[in-house]
């Protein structure tokens, strides 16, 4: 059994080959295009043998291959993904059950709201401000600063107060 290492790739302007053209491949292509990849799709009308040759050619050229219907022949697998702004959460079963990964993703989608995207944006703004001013904060301070009070302010759409609370909590000893 393979133990996959989760990874996020910057695929902007990178060539990506998708073998297959069914609904699974369609979802993968949609995500790859959203990531800015240059996608080539091999039609579902090709024979299994020809699809194998394409995969072999891709490997020979050093291209990572993902054959959605043949996980054993993949160099990588794609997780079920949730996007909320810059927050990206990936769910994978290591190829064991894409259906289970999708079901879990759907449960998480109900939990992860746009408030989480707002939290990430505020944290990014605060981090950049601290970096610009050469202020150092450790992980414990960040954990305390991203507390329930901050999240309640965001949920109540009280963004100015949320930003002030975050800044205050990050700078306090």
- How many domains does one find in the chain? 3
Greatest C-alpha distance within the chain: 65
Domain-located, residue 4: no
Summarize pLDDT for 17-49 with one digit per residue, the tens.
888 777 777 788 788 888 888 888 776 565 566
Q: Write down the pLDDT at residue 50.
A: 53
Q: Rounded to two decimals, what is the model's pTM?
A: 0.72
Do 57 and 74 reside in the same domain of the chain?
yes
Asked whether residue 84 falls in the same domain as residue 100, the answer is yes
Mention every residue, 6+ apart, whose C-beta is less than 8 A from residue 105.
80, 81, 82, 91
CA 29 to each of CA 24, 66, 78, 116, 169: distance values in angstroms, whole numbers, following the listed order: 9, 12, 11, 26, 42
What is the reported pLDDT for 128?
96
| 8 Å CB contact between 136 and 167 | no
Residue 50 inside a domain? The answer is yes
Provide the CATH number for the domain around residue 70: 3.40.50.720
- Residues 60, 13 contacting (CB under 8 angstroms): no
- Does any domain span residue 127? yes
Domain identity same for 95 and 71 = no
Same domain? 37 vs 87:
no
pLDDT at 109 over 70: yes
Share of the chain above pLDDT 90, in %: 49
Provide the domain limits for residue 128.
114-171
Assess if residue 128 is contained within a domain: yes
Average pLDDT over residues 146-154: 97
* Residues 14 and 61 grouped into a single domain: yes
Per-residue pLDDT tens over the stretch 65-104: 777 666 777 778 888 899 999 999 999 888 888 899 999 9
């Amino acid at each position: 059994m393979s133990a996959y290492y989760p990874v996020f790739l910057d695929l902007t302007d990178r060539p990506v080959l998708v073998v297959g053209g069914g609904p699974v491949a369609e979802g993968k292509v949609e995500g790859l295009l959203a990531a800015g990849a240059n996608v080539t799709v091999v039609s579902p009308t090709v024979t299994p043998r020809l699809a194998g040759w394409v995969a072999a050619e891709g490997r020979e050229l050093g291209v990572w291959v993902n054959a959605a219907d043949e996980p054993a022949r993949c160099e990588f697998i794609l997780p079920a993904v949730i996007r909320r702004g810059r927050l990206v959460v990936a769910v994978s079963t290591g190829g064991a059950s894409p259906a289970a990964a999708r079901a879990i993703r759907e449960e998480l989608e109900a939990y992860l709201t746009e408030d989480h995207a707002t939290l990430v944006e505020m944290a990014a703004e605060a981090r950049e401000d601290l970096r610009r001013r050469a202020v150092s904060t450790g992980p414990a301070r960040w954990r305390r600063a991203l507390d329930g009070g901050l999240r309640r302010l965001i949920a109540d759409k009280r963004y100015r107060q949320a930003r002030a609370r975050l800044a205050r909590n990050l700078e306090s000893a």
